[in-house]
Amino acid sequence: MKIGKINYSELSTAQQLSVKYFTVAMVLFLAQLVFGLIAAWQFLAPDFLFGVLDFNVNRMVHINAMVVWMLYGFIGAIFWLVEDESGVPLVGVWIANATFYVLTVAVTIVVLVYLFVQSGPGDAWTLWLINEGREYIEAPRWADIGIVICMVAFFYNVAGTFVAGRWSGISGVLVLDLVALAGLYLAGMFYTTNLPMDQYWWWWVIHLWVEATWEVLVGCIMAWGLIKTLGARRRIVTTWLYVEVALMFGSGILGLGHHYFWIGTPEYWLGIGGFFSALEPVPLVAMVVHAVYDAGRHHFRSSNHPALAWLIAHAFGNFIGAGVFGFMQTLPQINLYTHGTQWSSSHGHLAFFGAYTTIIVAFIYLTIQRLRGDVWMSSDIQGGWRWKWSLALLHVGMVGMSMALLIAGYEQSFVERAMGGSTWQAYFEGQTQPWFIQAMWWRMVFGVIMTAGLVLLLVDFVKIGAGDTRPIQAVAASDAVEDAAQPAGAVAKAAGGG
């Protein structure tokens, strides 16, 4: 390991895979923002690329790139921690490598078809080959099947490694959660004429991913991350993880009902969905308390400042974006007017960014530290302005954008929904209000700020730690010693420098 240099060849295969997955993830993240900007611009200048790259194509690429890059991010993070957590080298290296290339080629083909073929005749062939026309899971059926096969392979790698090595609380939750996550995808893989039936299962994928299984997945990653960056005690972290699982699944599974208010499903979902989804912020509060308490307990002395900053951003972002902004529209009495307005878009942006972008970025900082030979990443990082500014720009951009969309959403709910009765004309009356148009301009401005932040972040990923010769700062030795008798012993390892 040469401190400050790229040590790619000295990483284990699993860690190299993480680097690959993260790299593709960041390319897709950039693509996501580019297509988001085009779509946002089309709100202001509808003739832009009209008939060439229409809004629906840009938006589809925008949200699909997001879903895929986040899944890549999760896979990358899991490959990174699996060996450390299990204590043995990755099982099935050959399969893991092949999976990466197969998946990446498939994703590339899907995106190219989206962009150049775009749509097809109204028959089953289009759904098999071009796109399925269902928001977020538009990928054609052939790709669905490919994704499932890749997920099975990935699961084999992860579960197999834990079986070969040792289990811990974190890995137990992680593996069970992966089963649920992959299984849920199957619910989105069939076609039916019956629209309510279609949307009923569609939400199983979307909601039970982002508000249940993904949340628990990042809970696991967060738990491991806190141990690594702060040297937090494993027993406490694991107990918190169980608390979070109980609260998250306890509210999130039936919280699914907040999508069953208006799609033809029975009336009891109004009560069940309203009640349980209103409880969903509770686990998110628990997560904030946990992260902030741990950070404070360790006097914010960490071995990796950017990662810790992004972990804390995750805790707050998750709580505000998902918890607060989700709660605002989750009771049916309010949702009747906000459902399917810019209000949803505001929440969707802040939640995905706050909950998932943040933690993946945090994790990438952890991997880069290792890639750079366990270089120093505490206070006084060389060129430390970069990570701070990119963090600030991304957050200013995202918060500004969500606020603009929220204002647009308020306006739309009043003018189009409450006053206008949701007709075609009322819709356009809402869209032409000065407040709405201003909000669309502000969204554009903040979108550009955000994109600048992302570019700077990517530059920082390449540059941080380069040429620095100070080794990683050891963390919280006292706690680690106290926990050294722990079965997994990862804490002691962390203190010793990973």
Residues that bind ligand HEM (CB under 6 A): 33, 36-37, 39-40, 59, 62-63, 66, 135, 210-211, 258, 277, 280-281, 318, 322-323, 326-327, 329-330, 335, 339-340, 344-345, 347-349, 351-353, 355, 357, 447, 450-451
Distance, CA of 157 to CA of 269 (rounded, Å): 39
Query: 374 contacts which partner out of Fe ion, other proteins, ligand HEM, none, CB within 5 to 8 A by kind?
Result: none
Q: Report the nearest approach of other proteins to the CB of residue 153 (Å).
A: 26
Please identify, using beta-carbon distances, which residue of 234 and 386 lies nearer to other proteins: 234
Stretch 348-407 residues interacting with other proteins (CB under 8 A): none
* Contact status, residue 54 vs residue 115, Cβ threshold 8 Å: no
The DSSP bridge partners found for residue 375 are: 471
Q: Which two tokens stand for residue 170?
A: 């974190």
Instruction: Report residue 466 as tokens.
Output: 């380069």
Rounded to whole angstroms, what are the CA distances from 467 to 10, 168, 274, 463? 18, 37, 54, 9
If one asks whether residue 35 binds other proteins (CB under 8 A), the answer comes out as no
Residue closer to other proteins by CB (options 227, 366) is 227
- Applying CB under 5 A, which of residues 62, 141, 207, 395 lies at the interface with Fe ion? 207
Does 234 bind Fe ion (CB under 5 A)? Our answer is no
Q: In 372-476, which residue ranges form alpha helices assigned H by DSSP?
A: 384-412, 424-432, 434-463
Query: For the chain, give me the number of helices (H) and strands (E)?
Result: 21, 0
State the burial class of residue 466 (Cβ atoms within 10 Å of its Cβ: 0-12, 13-18, 19+). middle
Nearer to other proteins, 469 or 482 (CB): 482
Residue 473 touches which member of other proteins, Fe ion, ligand HEM, none, C-beta under 5-8 Å by kind: none
The Cα-based distances of 355 to 176, 369, 459 in angstroms read: 21, 23, 23
Q: Does residue 480 contact residue 52 with C-beta atoms inside 8 Å?
A: no
SS3 377: strand
CB of 491 to other proteins, least distance (A): 12
In the complex, minimum distance from the CB of residue 8 to other proteins, in angstroms, rounded to a whole number: 37
**Which residue in 19, 57, 223, 456 binds other proteins (CB under 8 A)?**
57
Burial class, 260, CB count within 10 angstroms (exposed 0-12 / middle 13-18 / buried 19+): buried
Q: Name which of 131 and 451 has its Cβ closer to other proteins.
A: 131
Q: Which of residues 232-251 bind other proteins (CB under 8 A)?
A: 235, 238-239, 242-243, 245-246, 249-250
- Considering only residues 451 to 480 of the shown chain, the ones binding other proteins according to CB under 8 A are none
Site for other proteins in 108-137 (CB under 8 A): 118-124, 126-127, 130-135
Separation of alpha carbons 330 and 338, rounded Å? 9
> Which part of the chain contacts Fe ion (CB under 5 A), choosing from 38-46, 210-218, 300-308, 413-421?
210-218
